[in-house]
């Protein structure tokens, strides 16, 4: 399966943010999306998720090894925002129960609520707390969990690990590596070391276009230098 973005353009007033993007994302890989502030990473995610209309171009899925393609559907996409959006008047258990019930037709091989909590390493004493009493990082965990439960073809992760401490961030990285074969994962971050540690491919967004960075025979420091130089190009 591939997510294909073809000739995508988006501008706000006279500022062209996305300028004819063409890129193919493949299932089974984690793509690290790097770009400077204001480069358009969130705009790109919002276009894929259809929160923003595009000015020109197409975004579609190609399934199997054929050229057969189709438009994206809402069920194809899971979107984890940098600022978590959860119903704070519910407990974590109530939220999961509600989410599972309304999405039961989409969930393959469902687990018990406590098995999902175990998977996301949410402690027993936190499972019946109101979400309003959760930390930013814990809310982010819950947001990520419900998106994983829905098992979308595409996971858009917008700075998802910045609110976690070192231990939890490492747990989340390992979790993403275990599920990557079932998804196309695009991971937006400002932290280059995190992208290099977690991601199979590094993609930069600069001057409105996406470019895959080829590591070839470069060592770690040489590759970092190459990425920085590409991001600095005017």
- DSSP secondary structure string, 125-183? GGTTSBGGGS-HHHHHHHHHHHHHHT--SEEEEESTTTTS-HHHHHHHHHHHHHHGGGS
Look at the alpha carbons of 81, 120, 150, 190 in this order and tell me if their dihedral is positive or negative: positive
Amino acid 197: pLDDT: 87
Confidence of residue 163 (pLDDT cuts 50, 70, 90): low
**Mean pLDDT, rounded, for 106-130:** 91
By percentage, how much of the chain surpasses pLDDT 90?
52
Taking a C-beta distance cutoff of 8 angstroms, is the pair 204, 44 a contact? no
Which of 141, 101, 147 has its CA nearest to residue 117? 141
Calculate the alpha carbon distances from 144 to 56, 68, 156, 205 in Å. Answer: 31, 30, 10, 24
C-beta separation of 80 from 142 below 8 A? no
Instruction: Tell me the average pLDDT of the chain.
Output: 89
pLDDT band at 215 (very low <50, low <70, confident <90, very high): confident
Q: Mind listing the pLDDT tens digit for each residue in 9-44?
A: 999 988 889 999 999 999 999 999 998 888 899 999
Domain locations along the chain: 2-232
Under the banding of pLDDT at 50, 70 and 90, the label for residue 159 is confident
pLDDT band at residue 66 under the 50/70/90 scheme: low
φ, ψ for residue 36, nearest 5 deg: -70, 165
Q: What is the pLDDT of residue 146?
A: 92
Lowest-pLDDT range, 41-45, 62-66, 177-181? 62-66
Q: Give the span between the Cα atoms of 135 and 41, in whole angstroms.
A: 25
What digits encode the pLDDT tens for the residues 68-93?
888 999 889 999 888 888 999 999 99
Distance of CA 127 to the CA centre of its chain: 25
- Out of 3.40.50.2020, 3.40.50.300, 3.10.450.50, 3.40.50.150, the CATH code matching 2-232 is 3.40.50.300
**Residues 86, 130: contact at Cβ < 8 Å?**
no
How far apart CA 94 and CA 173 sit, in angstroms, is 26
Q: Please report, for residues 18, 39, 97, the alpha-carbon distance to residue 14 in angstroms, rounded to integers and kept in the order given.
A: 12, 15, 46
- What percentage of the chain exceeds 70 in pLDDT? 98
């Amino acid at each position: 399966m591939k997510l294909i973005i073809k000739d995508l353009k988006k501008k706000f007033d006279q500022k062209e943010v996305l300028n004819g993007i063409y890129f193919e994302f493949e299932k089974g890989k984690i793509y690290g999306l790097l770009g400077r502030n204001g480069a358009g990473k969130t705009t790109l995610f919002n276009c894929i998720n259809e929160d923003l209309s595009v000015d020109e171009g197409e975004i579609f899925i190609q399934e199997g090894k054929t050229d057969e393609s189709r438009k994206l559907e809402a069920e194809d996409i899971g979107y984890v925002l940098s600022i978590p959006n959860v119903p704070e008047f519910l407990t974590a258990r109530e939220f999961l129960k509600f989410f599972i019930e309304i999405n039961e037709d989409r969930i393959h091989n469902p687990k018990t609520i406590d098995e999902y909590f175990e998977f996301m390493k949410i402690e027993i004493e936190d499972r019946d707390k109101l979400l309003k009493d959760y930390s930013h990082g814990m809310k982010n965990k819950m947001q990520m969990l419900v998106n994983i439960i829905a098992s979308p073809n595409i996971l858009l992760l917008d700075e998802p690990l910045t609110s976690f401490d070192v231990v939890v961030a490492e747990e989340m990285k390992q979790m993403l590596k275990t599920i990557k074969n079932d998804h196309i994962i695009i991971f937006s971050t400002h932290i280059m070391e995190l992208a290099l540690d977690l991601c199979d491919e590094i993609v930069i967004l600069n001057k409105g276009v996406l470019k895959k960075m080829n590591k070839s025979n470069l060592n770690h420091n040489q590759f970092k230098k190459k990425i920085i130089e590409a991001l600095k190009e005017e």
